[in-house]
Structure 1
Amino acid sequence: MSLAKKAITGIIWNFAEQLARRGIGVAVTLLLAYFLTPEDFGLVAMMAVFLALGGTLMASGFQQALIRLKEATQLDFNTAFYANIALGLVAYIILYNAAPRIALFYEQPDLVSLIRVAALAVIVNSLQVVQVSILSRQLNFKAQLKANLPAALLSGLLAVSLAYYGWGAWALVVQMLVSAILITVFLWMQRIWRPSLSFCFTSLGHMYNFGYKLFLSGVLDIVFKNMYVIVLAKVFSSSVAGIYFFAEKIKELVISQLVTSIQTVTYPALSTMQDDDVRLKVGYRKVLAMTTFLMFPTMLFLAALSQPLFEFLLPKKWWPAVEYLQLMTLAGLLIPLHSINLNILKIKGRSDIFLYLEIIKKIMSALIFFVSIDYGVTGILIGQIISSVLSYIPNSYFSKRLIGYSVRQQLTDFLPGLVSSAVIAGFIFSLQAWVQWWALAELVVFGLLAGLMYLLSANLLKLHAYELTKELVLKKFKKVKPKGE
């Protein structure tokens, strides 16, 4: 199997893992929506940025550094393991002491205890970084599925039970902490790797030299991704922040799921050919074409059908999130392209360029944000769309510089699928103004119609991405087909 096809196969397995885990997560979120209020979700949204920063400090790019090492040794794994634990403890101490100030900023006293308990997950997660790195190097996503799926299910059931009995925001905090504990336990039960008493400062320096730039990039990304919630909670209300946060969680089922699959798989798979630009470019062209072929219709059809989706699944208190979700989906449309282009920088070891790009893009995003805030939540989300489109320019520029993958070639690979998806999504969206059916009927009929139209157009237009995807699916089917048939 070629490395590109191996990467695509890995994406499929990782997508299945993400779908199962995040699918359970969203199902749980939908159930929680019946028992919790927007204010409860707003409290969790307020502390999410600080927990994410703590997690980034704990990881500090060591996982990416381990994956990129051509020959990672037991000493490298030990060094990263103990460094992550130490950084996890530091992150927890910082969050513990910062909790009262965060609560004072938001004028929400309940945040103190919520943050101090939820932050324990940072320490717990530090115990699984090396295991996940090893499995990612091996493209072994079945093992991760065995840990993530039961953890998501058990923690989700517990959260729903607690919400039913009136625990409010604590149900979400307990879900986060229990999920982290269970994933860690299940990974260690598989005996993927065991630490020994050794540590190397030379190895630490080598990994940190690569990882700290990714850490700084991650900090910038987290701050700017969450600044919207921070402002919404401070300027508007915890209820508005909660509705925004809820819409974002729904969006993550689609966008973050596939993007995580792309990053998790293509980075270790294509890192093995980091010195062969020709093969690297061929592999990335296939990955980009196939992932966007699947991603664009999924996202655009979600935007088109979000109104009947919310009406069927959720109580009216959450219906204001429909417009947020539609705009968020459009803002996230180019995220797979950003992910693929930035992965090229990491594979080439150019974490310095990665950091510089993040700084430039965040300055641009901040300027757009401060201009758009006067136009309310809708204006802020439209600003996100503009920021995403503009960010594609610097991201794609270095792909051409490093492996010769130009913007024109990228447009050739993804534009036909994007145009086809957009036209069909627009048609489906306009149909809803003329046809007033029960929400479930609209979801089923229009969803099937959209999917059928997309496949038919891809077949008639002979889209290259469609042919690649069909070829891979047929080969997979032949492999699992019983002998003798």
Structure 2
Amino acid sequence: MAAKGKTITSVIWSISSKVAIFTLKFVSVPILARYLSPSELGMVASGMIVITFLLLFAGAGLTAGLIRDAREDAVSDDTIFWTNLGVATTLGFLVYLFAQPLASLLGAPEAAWLLEIFAPLFVLYLGPDVASSQLSRRMAFDKDAFVSVFAEAMGAIAAIAIVIGGYGIWALIGQLYVSAGLRFIGLFLAAGYLPGFHFAMPELRRHMSYGVRLVGADFVSFLSFQSPIVIITRMLGLPEAGTFNLTNRLSDLPNQIVLTGLMSVLFPSFSRMNDDSEKQAAILSRTTQATTLLLAPMLFGIWAVAEPAMTVVFGEKWAFAAPVLGLLAVSKGIMSPCGSFIPYLKATGHATVLWRFGLGRAITTILAMIAGAWWNGLYGLCVFLCIANVGVLLSYLWVVLKVAGLPLIAGMRNTLFPLLLAGLMAVTVRLLFVGGWIQADGALMQLAMGVAVGGALYAVLVLLTQRRLVMELVRR
């Protein structure tokens, strides 16, 4: 019971931090969007693709092994710290040296100077990973939440001050450095971690044998989630990449609030249950249903109110991007049941399954987006992404249910039914708008009425069809 209570508290802290960060982004991103052009947003997005991609390999999944360990060992922690620091320094130097060819490879040669500026970020991102893993291992998500929120808040404030001062794209650069720098300092202080002069090759090999398998899974996941920027930049140009980046950030906010917070807690929680596979499977089933019940209506609802939402949040100059926002939200809503799958497969040692499925998903997604972009530009890319995600969801669900030993038909039904309810709600709200049943003066009132009608309708549908599940979740 004590462990269960600590897990619930950790989930609350983790999600609360995501809510706070969401609030900051909800305020800062629209302000930045009003001052920056699609090309500037696309340039920063393209530059960060390189950093994010190399970070996947830089850490080699080593800190995931620290989280999975039941014990806390100074030699093991220090070994991973010095390994990460050495790799981060080397990568930063190489990115600075080869900034021009890397930018040209992305189809954005004008972003080379940004890569040179971004090079030190490797140390700021990888340096505190051991401290962060210590907090996760101790389930000290309250401390991690405080550091994350404070760092993001200061970064957002810095960005707003810089962009209002007329320095344009430097606002995004400043935001990255302020947030990363404060996170670097804060995590070391929160964990009370002072690296010692220890290095043990057996410890490095032990963690690397586990981490390398995760890197493969993270790599194919990266291809699925980050390849759109590369495809759009090369096929359609930087303005379209900037439009995609902005709308993707807004459509991803529900996931950032709920999913990332939940996943960060589920991985150590599942790891602690490795001697009880039935309990793991039961929690997997419940968390899958719960995340679908919560996330799907939020994401499909964005599609239903995309036009007023885009105008209210980003201003009239971005109203043209409403169809892209709506379709991206739908593509994420389709995948909402999958939030608990990755931490489950990682914790139970099924990294090979995760990698193989991730590779198939990446290939499917990339081919679909290329075909969609060729067919009808950015809009076509988003349409094809939605279609591909339907197949990915069904395949992913089948694989995970099989691995967990859960009934296939019942598992499919329990997972997909809440998704269908959310889709029904969103389509109804959209039809009410088109038919003139929802009328209001101004985009803000239209958005408010759409959210109110959709929320009320979904609540009725859930109470009529999912009352038992809701009561079980409340009791837990």
Q: TM-score range by the shorter chain?
A: over 0.9
Q: CA separation of 1:223/1:402 partners in 2, compared to 1, >3 Å: closer, same or farther?
A: closer
Q: C-alpha separation between the residues in 1 aligned to 2:121 and 2:164?
A: 23
Q: Tell me if structure 2 keeps the 8 A contact 1:54–1:88.
A: no
- The answer to whether structure 1 residue 441 and structure 2 residue 442 are counterparts is no
Comparing 112-121 with 455-464, greater Cα deviation is found at 455-464
Q: CA separation of 1:289/1:243 partners in 2, compared to 1, >3 Å: closer, same or farther?
A: same
- The answer to whether structure 1 residue 468 and structure 2 residue 469 are counterparts is no
1:218-237 → structure 2 map (5 Å cutoff): 218-237=218-237
Q: Tell me if structure 2 keeps the 8 A contact 1:99–1:115.
A: yes
Which residue of 1 is the match for residue 293 of structure 2? Answer: 293
Which residue of 2 is the match for residue 157 of structure 1? Answer: 157
Which residue of 2 is the match for residue 395 of structure 1? Answer: 396
Q: Tell me if structure 2 keeps the 8 A contact 1:396–1:406.
A: no
TM-score of the superposition, structure 1-length normalised? 0.91
Q: CA separation of 1:42/1:440 partners in 2, compared to 1, >3 Å: closer, same or farther?
A: same
Q: Tell me if structure 2 keeps the 8 A contact 1:259–1:335.
A: no
Q: Tell me if structure 2 keeps the 8 A contact 1:18–1:261.
A: yes
Which residue of 2 is the match for residue 43 of structure 1? Answer: 43
Q: C-alpha separation between the residues in 1 aligned to 2:396 and 2:5?
A: 24
Q: Tell me if structure 2 keeps the 8 A contact 1:102–1:111.
A: no
Q: C-alpha separation between the residues in 1 aligned to 2:3 and 2:364?
A: 36
Q: C-alpha separation between the residues in 1 aligned to 2:200 and 2:234?
A: 45
C-alpha deviation, 1:324, in angstroms: 1.1
C-alpha deviation, 1:187, in angstroms: 1.9
Q: C-alpha separation between the residues in 2 aligned to 1:296 and 1:400?
A: 20
Aligned residue type for 2:413: T
Q: CA separation of 1:6/1:403 partners in 2, compared to 1, >3 Å: closer, same or farther?
A: farther
Q: C-alpha separation between the residues in 1 aligned to 2:84 and 2:465?
A: 50
Q: Tell me if structure 2 keeps the 8 A contact 1:41–1:246.
A: yes
Aligned residue type for 1:464: R
Q: Deviations over 1:95-138 (max 9, x none)?
A: 21231113334675542221122232221112211121121122
Q: Deviations over 1:257-309 (max 9, x none)?
A: 32212220111012111121111111112211222111111111122122111
Comparing 110-119 with 155-164, greater Cα deviation is found at 110-119
Which residue of 2 is the match for residue 428 of structure 1? Answer: 429
Q: CA separation of 1:345/1:109 partners in 2, compared to 1, >3 Å: closer, same or farther?
A: closer
Q: C-alpha separation between the residues in 1 aligned to 2:297 and 2:5?
A: 22
Q: C-alpha separation between the residues in 2 aligned to 1:30 and 1:322?
A: 14
Aligned residue type for 1:185: I
Q: C-alpha separation between the residues in 2 aligned to 1:134 and 1:7?
A: 16
Q: Tell me if structure 1 keeps the 8 A contact 2:46–2:229.
A: yes
Q: C-alpha separation between the residues in 1 aligned to 2:5 and 2:396?
A: 24
Q: Tell me if structure 2 keeps the 8 A contact 1:120–1:177.
A: no
Q: Tell me if structure 2 keeps the 8 A contact 1:26–1:249.
A: no
- The answer to whether structure 1 residue 92 and structure 2 residue 92 are counterparts is yes
Equivalent residue for 1:451, pick from 435, 440, 455: 455
Q: C-alpha separation between the residues in 1 aligned to 2:303 and 2:472?
A: 26
1:4-403 → structure 2 map (5 Å cutoff): 6-105=6-105, 108=108, 110-375=110-375, 376-403=377-404
Which residue of 2 is the match for residue 408 of structure 1? Answer: 409
Q: CA separation of 1:142/1:71 partners in 2, compared to 1, >3 Å: closer, same or farther?
A: same
Q: Deviations over 1:304-332 (max 9, x none)?
A: 12211122232222112211111111111
Comparing 115-124 with 271-280, greater Cα deviation is found at 115-124
Q: C-alpha separation between the residues in 2 aligned to 1:414 and 1:395?
A: 12
Aligned residue type for 1:411: M
Q: C-alpha separation between the residues in 1 aligned to 2:103 and 2:344?
A: 40
Aligned residue type for 1:383: F
Q: CA separation of 1:261/1:166 partners in 2, compared to 1, >3 Å: closer, same or farther?
A: same
Q: Deviations over 1:144-187 (max 9, x none)?
A: 12111121111111111111222222211121111000111122
Q: Tell me if structure 2 keeps the 8 A contact 1:147–1:186.
A: yes
Q: Tell me if structure 2 keeps the 8 A contact 1:331–1:384.
A: yes
C-alpha deviation, 1:403, in angstroms: 2.4
Q: CA separation of 1:470/1:350 partners in 2, compared to 1, >3 Å: closer, same or farther?
A: closer
C-alpha deviation, 1:404, in angstroms: 0.8
Q: CA separation of 1:286/1:370 partners in 2, compared to 1, >3 Å: closer, same or farther?
A: same
C-alpha deviation, 1:209, in angstroms: 1.0
Q: C-alpha separation between the residues in 2 aligned to 1:151 and 1:367?
A: 37
TM-score of the superposition, structure 2-length normalised? 0.93
How much is the aligned-residue C-alpha RMSD, in angstroms?
2.1
Q: Tell me if structure 2 keeps the 8 A contact 1:244–1:324.
A: yes
Q: Tell me if structure 2 keeps the 8 A contact 1:151–1:183.
A: yes
Structure 2 residue runs of 5 or longer lacking an equivalent are none
Q: CA separation of 1:446/1:370 partners in 2, compared to 1, >3 Å: closer, same or farther?
A: closer
Q: Secondary structure at the match of 1:320?
A: helix
Q: C-alpha separation between the residues in 2 aligned to 1:305 and 1:379?
A: 20
Q: Deviations over 1:2-36 (max 9, x none)?
A: 75665454333211111212331232111101111
C-alpha deviation, 1:463, in angstroms: 3.1
Structure 1 residue runs of 5 or longer lacking an equivalent are 473-485
Comparing 257-266 with 369-378, greater Cα deviation is found at 369-378
Q: Tell me if structure 1 keeps the 8 A contact 2:266–2:344.
A: no
Identity %: 20
Q: CA separation of 1:56/1:162 partners in 2, compared to 1, >3 Å: closer, same or farther?
A: same
Q: CA separation of 1:366/1:112 partners in 2, compared to 1, >3 Å: closer, same or farther?
A: closer
Q: C-alpha separation between the residues in 2 aligned to 1:265 and 1:107?
A: 38
Q: C-alpha separation between the residues in 1 aligned to 2:9 and 2:407?
A: 25
Aligned residue type for 1:74: A
Q: CA separation of 1:233/1:304 partners in 2, compared to 1, >3 Å: closer, same or farther?
A: same
Q: Tell me if structure 1 keeps the 8 A contact 2:369–2:381.
A: yes
Q: Deviations over 1:181-222 (max 9, x none)?
A: 011112222343222111111111111111112212222322
Aligned pairs, number: 472
Q: Secondary structure at the match of 1:319?
A: helix
